[in-house]
Amino acid sequence: MINPGEKNKKPVEWCREAELNRRPTDYESDIRSFLYYFPLLYALIIQLLITLAYFALLA
């Protein structure tokens, strides 16, 4: 059943709303989770390099 208000919407508005409300595909959610965790991984790698450099200087 379509809402009475939705019938008066232009097709472009309806398409935009459908695009905003759709579920992300697996590919998109993978990219989003990678971008979410990327700074954490980056910080971890830098920390590892700093630690290795520190121990190399001590040796």
Q: Give the residue-averaged pLDDT of 7-20.
A: 67
The tens digit of pLDDT for each residue in 29-42 reads 777 777 777 888 89
Q: What span, in angstroms and rounded, lies between the C-alpha atoms of 5 and 3?
A: 5
pLDDT, the chain, mean: 78
The confidence score (pLDDT) of residue 10 equals 64
Percentage of the chain beyond pLDDT 70 is 73
Contact between residue 19 and residue 12 where contact means Cβ atoms under 8 Å apart: no
Three-state DSSP class for 59? coil
Whether 53 shows a pLDDT value over 70: the answer reads yes
- So what's the pLDDT on residue 3? 62
What local confidence, expressed as pLDDT, does residue 48 receive? Answer: 97
